[in-house]
Structure 1
Amino acid sequence: MDETHGEQYIKTKTNGGVRVEIKDVLVEGTTKKVFTTSNADEVLIEFLDTLPSHLAKKKETVKGKAAINNAISSFLFEYLGSYNIPNHYVKKHDEKSMLAKRLEMLPITFHIWNVAGDDLVERFGFEKYQVLEYPVIEMTLKNEKLNFPFINEYHAYALKISNRSEMDQMTRIATKVNAVLKSYFQRRRLMLGDIRLEFGRAGNAIFLGDEVSPDTFVLYELDDKGRVANPDKFQIKGSKKLDVYQAYYDLFFNK
């Protein structure tokens, strides 16, 4: 890369050798920066070492996390694409960034639970770490000022942030993503505990966006009877957060 991301009109090479200009910061969030490029239909997503708000009450960084999340997201977006799941991934750009289809992101997060984590236990009285017979699908509005309230499809219509066709597409894609990844991990004696998904539109089509990484999903080991075992192994908390990110990385790349 010729210069640091973030300055205007920075020239860099893609993996294919084509010159791409990384231009302005389009969006800067807690865990990623999104840049416009010389291709109006593509953006560059740069991963950051900062922890997301649901994993840290105050700003905290874990050095090395950005590269791990970029590698895992790139792998899983390609894997989901092999199952004809529409997503924004184009290609891995460098250690900490990827090129992606430019989307108009929708301010809705789908949260799918396969195992009853603390939040579900507190709200509904499930047994802690209970493996659910049917996935629980919840939606929240991406609005920090409102404390990310729970919503349903009718809120989305009333707020004019999505329509019935888009909600149907998102629900269908979210359900398929969960099924595909749940199967992938079960073959490795792991359970996809829960996963957060975000979507964007391009024209009339909906695509899976954002990232698919340890910042957005939780895994559990399973015992011989299919019950959750060693539940803390893949929980990103405490003083050894980088070790947990590394454990996730090893699942995919150091088999």
Structure 2
Amino acid sequence: MKLKYKGKTKDVYELEDGNYLLQFKDDVTGVDGVFDPGANTVGLTIEGAGRAGLRLTKFFFEILKEKGIPTHYINADIEQATMTVKPAEVFGKGLEVICRYRAVGSFLRRYGLYAKEGQPLDAFVEVTLKDDDRQDPPINEDALDMLGILSKEEYHVLKELTKQIGAVVKEELAKKGIDLYDIKFEFGRTGKDKQIVLIDEISGGNMRAYKDGNYIEPLELEKMFLA
């Protein structure tokens, strides 16, 4: 295996067959020791977070596979905290796509003049650039096209996939009485036809979820959901 990239929450290795191996770590994003899925720094290390994130990720990726929704997922090894995936090319230097169902986090910080905390949102899709130095700035469809990051046609595919996948996750969580407030996805292009697919993970570290109005920590979410 050849190490290709050391990330905040996982490392990426290239396999001999051309596929990639993601090694999930126990580091999670946050600030001053407090978890925050929207943060661009590692805030703390939670023992077992890597495997917990992978368990949820495997669960959701296999549901998406059954539904015919395109992802880079091949298989996962929970004990080793690894996931084998198809190679995918990211947009520019990386985008994060957030689907918001409630006004919390950075949405509330930016739009608090108009939004109330916890206010329902209709699957609002927001794209940000992965750029730690500039605090992951939001970017819109026109700018993405003008800067050559992705075309307007690709943007619409990205937006529809985000809503579709977000709805699947929200529905599954609701079966356990869990309310999804927002979730963060990453996408890439794969294969000769440059198909847009979901990449990275779907875990507690990428979402804000609540039960009976109380926030659920990522590890607790995994326990509660897969119990």
Give your verdict on TM over 0.5: yes
Shift of 1:29: 0.7
* Aligned-residue identity in percent: 25
Query: Which residue number in structure 2 is paired with residue 38 of structure 1?
Result: 16
Shift of 1:246: 3.2
Query: Which residue number in structure 1 is paired with residue 167 of structure 2?
Result: 179
Please report the TM-score for the alignment, with normalisation by the length of structure 1: 0.78
Do the aligned residues in 1 keep the contact of 2:205 with 2:218 (CA within 8 Å)? no
Query: Which residue number in structure 1 is paired with residue 207 of structure 2?
Result: 217
* Equivalent of residue 110 in structure 1, options 91, 94, 97: 97
Q: Distance in 1 between matches of 2:138 and 2:218?
A: 28
> Residue type matched to 1:186 in 2?
A
Structure number with greater CO (CA < 8 Å, separation at least 6) is: 2
Q: Distance in 1 between matches of 2:218 and 2:105?
A: 21
Query: Which residue number in structure 2 is paired with residue 74 of structure 1?
Result: 58
Q: Distance in 2 between matches of 1:162 and 1:252?
A: 35
Please report the TM-score for the alignment, with normalisation by the length of structure 2: 0.87
Do the aligned residues in 1 keep the contact of 2:24 with 2:50 (CA within 8 Å)? yes
Q: Where do 5+ consecutive residues of structure 1 fail to align?
A: 1-22, 222-228, 235-243
* Equivalent of residue 97 in structure 1, options 77, 82, 90: 82
Give per-residue Cα distances to partners, 1:115-171, cap 9 Å, x unaligned: 111433332232211233x12111101111222111011211122121223212211
* Equivalent of residue 130 in structure 1, options 119, 125, 129: 119
1:164-175 equivalences under 5 Å are: 164-175=152-163
Give per-residue Cα distances to partners, 1:172-231, cap 9 Å, x unaligned: 11010111222222232221110001001013201100110011111112xxxxxxx332
1:207 partner SS: strand
Which segments of structure 1 move beyond 3 Å, counting only runs of 4 or more? 56-59
Shift of 1:58: 5.5
1:1-255 equivalences under 5 Å are: 23-40=1-18, 42-53=19-30, 55=36, 59-95=43-79, 96-106=81-91, 107-124=94-111, 125-132=114-121, 134-202=122-190, 203=192, 204-221=194-211, 229-232=212-215, 234=216, 244-254=217-227
Q: Where do 5+ consecutive residues of structure 2 fail to align?
A: none
Do the aligned residues in 1 keep the contact of 2:127 with 2:138 (CA within 8 Å)? yes
The alignment of Structure 1 onto Structure 2 pairs a total of residues equal to 213
